[in-house]
A and B are shown apart, each in its own frame.
Chain A
């Protein structure tokens, strides 16, 4: 699995490629060129690991060295303490008897030990008895009875127990110094690293006690209280016979420490080297496939889809490579499908357009034929109806003899229905003429205020029957509009008739007129009816559409609004409606202001100057108006 290598064949089929192990050219990700050493993943890995390894090695080395220093130094303390205790025990009788030769013999025995640099013996009150040393100490130490102080300055006042007092002794410019700090300082370690020895000695001080146990009161009292000067000043405890100081050289410790430090440094370097080599190896396994993948992605981004993919090792990188390969294959397939689609799409659109055009033509033809049929039928019906109406008028007028009351009432009802039928036929004829393109308008300057007033007066009887009030607000300064007076009156009549019909009794219908933008005049007719639902705002302009909210007893042909809309549009105006359920409806229409250059006659086949304006509640489309 880890050795599988994938590539795209020219046909897009995946295949194994065993020659893809060679590194491919990597396109730099950054626009300014190849990334820096620390900008890429491998460099960061290397740096981080090197830092971590170095810190770990140094910390461990320091800890190990400290442990070793402690152990070795402790061993030195113990050696010094054992030698000192041995010397203290053996020198008791020599001290008691004042036998300096014996003491010197014992001290030289201790000095013979390799790490011992000096041996000092003092009486309990600090008087020197023996002072011998090796190397530099041999010249440094004066021979007793020359005045010599103990190396540890605190010795005369020290309260002894069984624990040796240990301190560090150094050669300084000012002489020999003693300190209770016993470890190596950083400066000492640096000196050791550069190959220099440090003048550091460990001074082990021990008391020389009498052989009498401190628990033996009888013997203790005997030795303690047999002092003639007991009644005088302070006297030291008789159990302390003297003090021994043994100086232990730290040279062996230093040699061991130097060796340890070099070993630790060597180990650190070795670990670093091995660690970095391993890191390079593993980072190579990670970053090379990533870089190849990046290169491939860049080539794909540049539109090259048929590329050799890098090898797919096991693990996350391999998964990523395989996923990328699948994605690439998918893109390639989609690219081919898109190209095929592009090739056939135009032809398909043309074919479909032709189909649509043919269907549209057929529909237009059908519509035309329907309109011709309706027009012819309406016309043929209208003529006998006119004749019927004349005869009915004659009957009612008693031309053919007087009628009984019941007969007259029947005739009147027939006359009313024939009137409604005639009205319907007129509307149908108008609509057919419009749809057949036979409707013409005679454009002239129209005083819209006078026209509205005239229309209101013609419908006043209808308004009076329902107790409605028609409130007209059309300023006298309103500009003349360009339109056919007869058609405009038909428009206003249709809209006002609707408003009166749908307003409740004793309501008010408002008619307002005002100049609109871009050379138009806007007229609004508002009723206080039940309103039109939002979804019906467009459909009410369709022929014969009847809103479901209209009461059943309300009559109408359903042709008034479509005719008004078509007529308005013939005038290059626009008709729309705004309504809220339960709050009434307001129809708006616009008409162009009369200008001298306006043509006298407009036919619907001529180019339309005003785009169709769709209506909806609360908004209206922008219009292209004549200048």
Chain B
């Protein structure tokens, strides 16, 4: 009887230390990556970080080849994993084509609707900050500027543009859109748009934004002292005023959360595209100084990355996420 307290302590420690292992946690997950790119790796790492230790994770790399991805997926079909995390368009397409019955969570796909994604066995994480969030940030960053210009492919992004217009209206912003038909129309469209706007909002439109057009945009608008708000850290560094940027690791982490839900049998999110939960504000104070814009302190505090005098370092340790 003297050992009763000891047994009780051991039992308590066992119950405290040993985690709640569910059968679904001991599942097998396959990660398909479209290519050898750092942001795909980061997404995969974020995904892995969310999984329980009991989950067996196997990683495959398509090395930019869809056919390779389909071969890998066919191999997996013989002994399908509990879940597939697809990173990038080609990996997601390979999973869609070869593993139709396997639950798939994907991210890093720029325009999923164009490829009829997601299917009913899939959950997707967008790589696009919602128009409302972006315009809200523009509103905060440029409180005295109302005319926001937007160049876009005339056939693309109808839903996004509709959402943008509604948000602009709500935020008392005047969204001046300039549809273009091809890349060659962009310079003229920009030159025509420039006098009519206070700021330019650049979205992920491949017709508008090309290798050739990027320097043109930056040079033209910096000369005209028109601020640019965009989605890319690179563009902010090269001359845009600010942007809301998505971090691949965060997208992977969000995908991981969804994967856990699926493995535990919660399939109610199947077939949906989820907006990213977190985006990071990037500011270029050099550009702000050049344009004569005073950046609100609240935004500077919220910014995840700041380029500016004495602020070369990235504020990676701060909680800079904008919900």
Interface residues of chain A, those whose CB is within 8 Å of chain B, are 92-93, 96-97, 159, 210-226, 230-237, 241
Contacts and interface: CB of A to CB of B under 8 A. Distances in A.
B232 interface: yes
A215 B35 contact: no
Interface string B245-275: 1111000000000000000000000000000
Contact of A234 (B64, B111, B248): B64
Nearest to B115: A231
11 contacts: A92-B211, A96-B212, A211-B214, A213-B234, A214-B37, A214-B38, A215-B38, A217-B39, A221-B109, A224-B88, A225-B88
Contacts of A211: 211, 214-215, 234, 238
Contacts of B235: 219
A216 B65 CA distance: 21
A225 B109 contact: yes
* Shortest Cβ-Cβ A-B pairs, 8 listed: A217-B39, A226-B206, A234-B65, A219-B232, A216-B234, A96-B211, A225-B110, A221-B110
A225 B111 contact: yes
A225 B89 CA distance: 7
B108 A217 contact: yes
B162 interface: no
Contacts of B39: 214-217, 220-221
Nearest to A212: B234
A363 B108 CA distance: 144
Nearest to A97: B212
Contacts of A222: 110, 204, 206, 209, 232
Given A236-B64, A241-B211, 15 more contacts: A97-B212, A211-B214, A215-B233, A216-B232, A218-B204, A219-B231, A219-B234, A221-B109, A222-B209, A224-B88, A225-B89, A226-B110, A231-B93, A234-B66, A237-B37
Contacts of B247: 217
Contacts of B108: 217, 221
A216 B110 CA distance: 13
A211 B232 CA distance: 13
Interface in B208-237: 209-212, 214-215, 231-235
Contacts of A217: 39, 42-43, 108, 127, 246-248
A225 B205 CA distance: 11
Contacts of B233: 213, 215-216, 218-219
A220 B36 CA distance: 12
Contacts of B64: 234-237
A235 B63 CA distance: 10
Contacts of A226: 110, 206
Nearest to A233: B67
B90 interface: yes
A230 B206 CA distance: 14
Contacts, number: 98
Q: Name which of B42, B93, B247, B248 has the most chain A CB atoms within 10 A of its CB.
A: B248
Nearest to A214: B38
Q: Name which of A216, A221, A226, A233 has the most chain B CB atoms within 10 A of its CB.
A: A221
A216 B36 CA distance: 14
Given A217-B108, A217-B246, A234-B64, A223 B211 contact: yes
B212 A230 contact: no
A223 B35 CA distance: 14
Q: Name which of B36, B66, B93, B247 has the most chain A CB atoms within 10 A of its CB.
A: B66
Interface in B171-216: 204, 206, 209-212, 214-215
Interface in B89-123: 89-90, 93, 108-111, 115
B65 A210 contact: no
A223 B246 contact: no
Contacts of A231: 66, 93, 115
A234 to B, nearest CB: 4
A211 B138 CA distance: 26
Contacts of B231: 218-219
Contacts of B68: 234
B109 A93 contact: no
A359 B321 CA distance: 142
A92 B39 CA distance: 23
A233 B64 CA distance: 10
Interface string B60-76: 00001111100000000
A222 to B, nearest CB: 5
A405 B109 CA distance: 170
Nearest to B62: A234
A238 to B, nearest CB: 9
Contacts of B238: 211
A217 B210 CA distance: 15
B202 to A, nearest CB: 10
Contact of B127 (A97, A159, A215, A221): A221
Contacts of A219: 209, 231-235
Contacts of B212: 93, 96-97
Contact of B66 (A97, A210, A233): A233
Contacts of B43: 217
A150 to B, nearest CB: 20
A211 B211 CA distance: 7
Contacts of A212: 211, 234
B66 A232 contact: yes
B134 to A, nearest CB: 12
A273 B90 CA distance: 74
A230 B246 contact: no
Contacts of A220: 37, 39
A115 B228 CA distance: 45
A220 B43 CA distance: 14
Contacts of A230: 66, 89-90, 93
Given A212-B234, A216-B232, A237-B35, A93 B115 contact: no
A222 B214 CA distance: 12
Nearest to A219: B232
Contacts of A221: 39, 108-110, 127, 204
A93 B219 CA distance: 15
B90 to A, nearest CB: 7
Given A219-B235, A231-B115, A210 B211 contact: yes
Contacts of B42: 217
Contacts of B111: 225
Q: Name which of A96, A224, A225 has the most chain B CB atoms within 10 A of its CB.
A: A225
A214 B211 CA distance: 14
A330 B268 CA distance: 124
A95 to B, nearest CB: 9
A539 B259 CA distance: 130
A423 B43 CA distance: 146
Interface string B2-28: 000000000000000000000000000
A229 to B, nearest CB: 9
Nearest to B93: A231
Contacts of B65: 233-234
Nearest to B232: A219
B93 to A, nearest CB: 6
Contacts of B66: 230-234
Contacts of A236: 64
Contacts of B211: 92-93, 96, 210-212, 223, 241
A213 B115 CA distance: 26
Contacts of B232: 216, 218-219, 222
Given A214-B38, A225-B89, A230-B89, A96 B234 contact: no
Contacts of B245: 218
A241 B108 CA distance: 22
Contacts of A210: 211
A93 B215 contact: yes
Contacts of B90: 230
A171 B310 CA distance: 55
A210 to B, nearest CB: 6
A159 B235 CA distance: 26
A259 B212 CA distance: 50
Contacts of A159: 36
Nearest to A222: B204
A212 B214 CA distance: 10
